[in-house]
Structure 1
């Protein structure tokens, strides 16, 4: 049997989105970190943005995603080892409602809780109910035999009388109350079309996190929280190899415009022997001239298109890398950078790297959203033709013009198996698509 390290953990979930689970998670992470606890944050599902808030709340500890739909069990084991080893507590924030998953029903937060045998702390928005809370919580507790709800956090509670009614109702079904939290409008998190505004862009983040921690501290039942935790087994030798490295030295774009890189992919490349360097396209940076591969993650290039177009060092560096046949891979925002132009939401067209024969535009937005099953249509640095992956797609821009099918990068279908046709583009050693890869399929 492999060596195992024992820590404790829980999953923070909710009946639905907008119940307050992110604010509660951030408050708990900051409170524990402030008290000297080594806490490991995780985020369920395909979410790039919440993880940066988790990292800030937990004293800079990286936040890793866990995805029951898109990840193989061995990948999840490797992520737990990388993220939780040496920690005292693992906190996993769920996505959407506890039982909400992909279009085929798989991949819910409940699946993560069941797979890891961790209890669920259910955050309930109690603003518009009283005794009915017992029926709601009872339904979530009894819905699946392999998912255990070990406590609740009552959020947006109005008055002392409201609290009394809620507590009495939950006592009737023997459900522990871990915290009763009043509304605080100063703890609202601003959002954008892909979710929260990025942590790096939010002014006063430290003040917000400390305020949230103080808010939770005043209303938290520590004994109930401790009782709601359970041991988490972490395999010390679990390998983390979601994707093959693009090269031996991978230059990775990283800044406010290109922030959507999954930590488990970067860590997996490192653990397979690749070295990584970072550069900022938005702040005058260019990929290392010695790199044999370049990764351009997604993000918000449309918000900074003029500044990116004016970075001649960046454009020259990308073109020089293509000339020397370095592998250049772009996902979503990175894919847009590799095209000939990007049209922003105001209809202004900006010249991009012109390494792929595509144009992208936000002038007429069309949302594409969902998990994807992916097959490579050609040999690339990601693997040979026929390589299979799982990932997701979430964007509002559209690709203008038609890419020759022979130059398409992937064939994709959604979680229900519906064929979405060819997608992406490749030209020489340069390739990319709107899809975000999460893991390979065996």
Structure 2
């Protein structure tokens, strides 16, 4: 079985390009179906396994099949984002076999995140795996890969201090806002969206006791629940342009495919505010706020990429934890590849060969022998033969069938080969005896 992955993230692709390949959670199932149909159409990848992880910082495709199809996967993703394969290739990374496992384990453990050691990515990966399972796209190989990723991430989290010094995106936003406003308790803050990231940001800002908090969301019910937690008000997205001027800080993170805060709306808000500054954070991918807004003189707009320098502090304090985490990941990769090797019929992933297929063949062979002897015994019993005699013949028939090939090998070949065979047979069949069988059998 071949395993491969294709991805783009915050280190390889700019924000606007990542936005072209962002998939909301409810888009994952149909997207996976399209990918599988595309790969299966070639006839070379029946029963392919697929999963897609899509966050504000990354979009990654994981696949498993009998043969790799990296170029086809890249071509499909490029087409889905409306870019050329060459452009996507220049901003993406491709991984196979053990490198896929290592990458997945590092992502789950927070080692590949913009915020080193952050835990949110683990929940996002679990959501992606559930979506793939629901779509029927996840088989035993990818399921094993991700379950081991979660186990490794848990061990990293509990055995190291990888997250002890991390600065979250939400905390970074508060820190930047504090640099613009002398007293955050005098500010009015608007949160656009009601997802997990907005909830985290609202929690951090609420700790600063702002003058007012408002939640703007497409569905009022979800917005009301979040607003109630922080003693804030809720508004519809449709009312946002007319009320934008009321707020000193705007933090937005929705799943919209198009910007929901345009340049014109911000210009009108600034005019009503008599050009008092506005602090804006766009954590969405694709963007929620039109990029041209950043050029306005009284707006301080930050995107997820702009926060990178803020969240990458205290790196020195985390290096020892990173080394410990990498050691845990190394062990996890070796364990996964051993599992893959056992399942490989040709042993291409390791020197051991395909053990699982051999076990399956042995079980099938012994089941066939057992069925033959039982059928023979039933015929003898039907003829009125003595039960003890039939049982004796049954047991003798099974043991003779099982030992026939072994005894033939012991009698064949030269003395050296017979001696090697005898040692193997003794280890397999005579574990409770100290003496080796007679080589002359």
TM-score scaled by structure 2? 0.28
Question: Quick check: which one's helix share is greater?
Answer: 2
Structure 1 or 2, whichever has the larger Rg, is 2
Structure richer in strand, relative to its length: 1
